[in-house]
Structure 1
Amino acid sequence: MTIRIEDSSIPSPASRRLLLEHARTVAEQADRHAVTLESLLAVLRSSRVDDKAARTMTIDIAATALVEIRMTTDQQRGTMLEPVVGAFARLRNDLRPLERFGDLEVQFVEPPATGRALPGEVAHAARAIVRSAVLAFVDSGAARRVRIQWDCDGLNLLIGIRDDGAGDLSHHDDSLRPIAERVSALDGEFAVSSTPGWGSLLEVRLPLDPPNEPEPLEDVVALSHREREVLRLVVSGARNSEIGSQLDISNNTVKFHVSNLLQKAGARSRAELGALTR
């Protein structure tokens, strides 16, 4: 039995999931729009094409981006699988205009064709992570070459992004915050290593399977019937005197049961006990 306390001022888990999903979708669309705009600027600024060709190319980029937005909107994110090679190909298409017309040379190291298919949420996050990193390198103006590599060990998607810039990036850079947040949201790992004058390496590990949900406290800790009653009231916010009154036991007996509950749960406070119960 899991004890849940309803509070209208606290969003439900389902509401929080929807809000988080909405925030991720907005962030991803912002990244995609930024890449599209950078691509358009790269074409328009390029000295390699004349005005007529530049106009044709920018129309093509904008039309492709519009189709992609409509397709993404229609998809049910997280409910479908993408072959790792196909997901990587979509990333290349996202960055192709920057590769062709920008000052940044982008090198791609293809993932193994036999790699495990990626859950939709992981594939979307992986592309967003790489786009964010490339945009950070473009904004810095120091990098001239970026190497992007994906690999799959069966349990995780492994992403490596290396540039030849100033080599001064660290976890504390604001430009890398979106990457860290996306990785954290998927229970992954993110590492940054830099060598002054030689560039930086971003390494990301994204699990392909969601983390196991923790079991409710009452399913993993043996509790007596009385302890369950006390626990229910502790989680509801009742004071010891109120618990004693409702259960018709003394204040000292309530303290005894609460102390046992804290010890069994490994909790340091009543608030932590309540969190473990939920």
Structure 2
Amino acid sequence: MTLSETPPDPVAPDSVARGLVSDHARDMAEVLDRQAVVLESVLAALRSRRLDDRAARVEATDIAASALVSLRTGSDRRQDELLEPVVSAFARLQSDLRPLVRFGDLDVQFVQPPSTGRALPGDVAHAARAIVRNAVLTLVDAGDAQRVRIQWDCDGLNLLIGIRDDGAGELTVHDDVLRPIAEQVTSLDGDLAVSSTTGWGSELSVRLPLDPPAAAEPWDLIESLSAREREVLRRVATGDRNHDIARTLGISDNTVKFHVSNLLRKLGARSRTELATLASAP
């Protein structure tokens, strides 16, 4: 090889492959999140007191069939390079939740964002929908709220999400039921705040930057993790929950949450599924 020749870059193929692995993990997390809403919607139709048995079966079948078509056509695939108008992004959220709202016992009120709001990057739009879907499912599971109000706004630099219910008013930002939401918000360098009043309900306030910092190459950063962070990462990769990790490592649940939050931020991951994928990738 002469001096004018450029040697091949052995890192580039691995970098591309690892990027594909990360993209696949995010797509899978999105599919699982959407299907959870579909299953809750099917159950809501089957349990609805407003439908007789035949009508309930028809509605449940329609919901499942529509979800299957959406899954096969990839209608909600990640489009990182595209911008999505905030009104359109909000409309897709309403469409996702429509069957659950129609047949469930939870009264969901949507406050439309201003049409002049800045368009959302694809990642932010997907994360925002996932955050709201997770919050609604959490409220459905809790069963103590009758109404929830969902509001989006945009200040030019951030997407602002407000979710308020009329439940028991006992939620805190450290509750395990909010962990998936907290992890998604952290991964996008955003903020999550929870305000609760006993007997009056809780309000989740989320700020998602519209221009999040570019994610660093996670595999290069794994070597910079502390020994304890690597231990937590290995446990996350095996599917252990926070309580199990805390018991195994002899630390508190809150310490585990702190380490997981740091891992998401340092490795540019957006969920525990992505962390597990990154930890097991070659």
- 3-state SS of 1:132 partner: helix
Distance in 1 (CA, whole Å) between partners of 2:145 and 2:139 is 6
Partners in 2 of 1:85 and 1:103 — Cα distance?
26
Instruction: In structure 2, give the amino acid aligned to 1:48.
Output: R
Aligned to 2:89: 87
- Secondary structure at 2:46 match in 1: helix
The structure-2 alpha-carbon separation of the partners of 1:94 and 1:22, relative to structure 1 and needing over 3 Å to count, comes to: same
In structure 1, which of residues 16, 20, 30 is the aligned counterpart of residue 32 of structure 2?
Answer: 30
Structure-to-structure mapping, 1:88-167, within 5 angstroms: 88-167=90-169
Larger Rg: 1
Q: Deviations over 1:223-262 (max 9, x none)?
A: xxxxxxxxxxxx9xxxxxxxxxxxxxxxxxxxxxxxxxxx
SS where residue 49 of structure 1 aligns?
coil
Provide the rounded CA distance (Å) in 2 between the counterparts of 1:171 and 1:74.
29
Q: For 1:213 and 1:32, locate their aligned partners in 2 and report how far apart those are by CA, in whole Å.
A: 24
- 1:171-226, CA deviations, whole angstroms, 9 ceiling, x for partnerless residues? 21111111111111111111111111111110111111132689xxxxxxxxxxxx
CA contact (8 A) 2:152 2:162 kept: yes
Deviations 1:12-70 (A, max 9, x none): 76666544433332222222111101100111111211222222211221122122223
> Take 1:176 and 1:21, find their aligned partners in 2: how far apart are those partners?
24
Evaluate the alpha carbon distance shift between residue 62 and residue 29 of structure 1 in structure 2; reply closer, same or farther with a 3 A threshold: same
CA distance in 2, matches of 1:49, 1:108: 24
Matched, 1:177 2:167: no
Aligned positions, number: 208
Residue matched to 1:47: 49
CA distance 1:115–1:70, shift in 2 (3 Å): farther
CA 1:28–1:75 in 2, change beyond 3 Å: closer, same or farther? closer
Q: If the length of structure 1 is used for normalisation, what is the TM-score?
A: 0.68
Report deviation, 1:156.
0.9
Return the alpha-carbon distance in structure 1 between the equivalents of residues 181 and 188 of structure 2: 11
Q: Any stretches of 5+ residues in structure 2 without a counterpart? A: 1-10, 217-223, 225-265, 267-282
Q: Does the C-alpha gap of structure 1 residues 190 and 89 become closer, same or farther in structure 2, counting only changes over 3 Å?
A: same
Q: Identify if the C-alpha distance between structure 1 residues 212 and 109 changes in structure 2 by more than 3 Å, giving closer, same or farther.
A: same
Aligned pair partner of 1:208 in 207, 210, 221: 210
- TM-score, length-normalised on structure 2? 0.67
Which of 56, 59, 62 is the matching residue for 2:58? 56
The amino acid across from 2:65 in the alignment is A
